[in-house]
Structure 1
Amino acid sequence: MQNLVILAGNVGATPETRSTQGGTKITQFSLATSRPKRDSEGKILKDADGRRVEDTEWHRITCFNGVGKTVAQYVDKGQKVMVRGRIHYTRWTDNENIERYGVEIIADEVTFLSRGRQQQGATQNQDDLDDDVPF
């Protein structure tokens, strides 16, 4: 069996990068996915202007190493991306001794579906990107 997730959506905010004490770089961003809302009969709901009403879900995406480096360099808020990875559940106890739960997507690949940031000063050609990083 395999834990596999594929999401396509819009980046909610500019990705943030941090480093662990061991020096591993971690890049995180939020991803919004949407689908049409349906009534009890399965028909797509529309607003007063005749536009589809959508149900949006937010996902926390975490990238490591080369994928994270590429995402941090080229991805920006509003960009459309496709993420392929796995679901990761976490459990911890906070400072007030309350047990908390979380879920994130650990990205193996991030595919750009629209243009994002370009490198400062000049555009980078594909040969300058990490060879082992799908984009």
Structure 2
Amino acid sequence: MQNIVILAGNVGATPEARTTQGGTKITHFSLATSRPKRDSDGKVIKDRDGYRVEDTEWHRITCFNGVGKTVEEYVDKGMKVMVRGRIHYTSWTDQDDIKRYGTEIIADEVTFLTRARQASEQQQGERDLPIDDDIPF
């Protein structure tokens, strides 16, 4: 059996990175995925202006080492990315002795579906290449 998840969506905020005492780079970011909201008959619900109404879900993405470094350098809020990885469930007891639960996606790959931000001034001299903004979501 395998635990595999593939998500494509929009990055919710600039990724946050840290390094453990052991030298492991850990980068976190949030990813929003959306799907059309449907009525009890399965038809897509539309608002009064004719636009479809969507359900949005937020996912916590965790990247390690090389993937984490790349995400930290090039990913920014609003970018469209595809994440391939696995679901990881955690539990802990908080300071009030209450059992808490969490879910995150451990990313093996993060693919940029829109142009990545430039890492620093080192790339300022490079020409921008055209991108395809017609990626469906």
CA distance in 2, matches of 1:25, 1:48: 47
Higher mean displacement: 83-92 or 19-28: 19-28
Aligned to 1:131: none
SS at match of 1:87: strand
Amino acid in structure 2 at the alignment position of 1:84: R
State the identity %. 79
Query: Following TM superposition, by how much is the alpha carbon of 1:116 offset from its aligned partner in structure 2, in angstroms?
Result: 2.4
Deviations 1:53-105 (A, max 9, x none): 00000000000000000000000000000000000000000000000000000
Query: Following TM superposition, by how much is the alpha carbon of 1:122 offset from its aligned partner in structure 2, in angstroms?
Result: 3.9
SS at match of 2:121: coil
Amino acid in structure 1 at the alignment position of 2:21: Q
Query: Following TM superposition, by how much is the alpha carbon of 1:10 offset from its aligned partner in structure 2, in angstroms?
Result: 0.1
Aligned to 1:33: 33
Aligned to 1:14: 14
CA distance in 2, matches of 1:123, 1:21: 30
CA distance in 2, matches of 1:20, 1:120: 24
Amino acid in structure 2 at the alignment position of 1:62: T
Matched, 1:123 2:123: yes
CA distance in 2, matches of 1:50, 1:3: 38
CA distance in 1, matches of 2:123, 2:33: 29
The 5 A counterparts of 1:59-70 are: 59-70=59-70
Normalising by structure 2, we get a TM-score of: 0.88
Unaligned residue ranges in structure 2 (runs of 5+):
127-137
Between the two proteins, the alignment pairs up a number of residues equal to: 125
CA distance in 2, matches of 1:7, 1:90: 20
CA distance in 1, matches of 2:57, 2:22: 33
Aligned to 1:86: 86
Deviations 1:94-130 (A, max 9, x none): 00000000000000000000012112114388xxxxx
RMSD: 1.2
Aligned to 1:45: 45
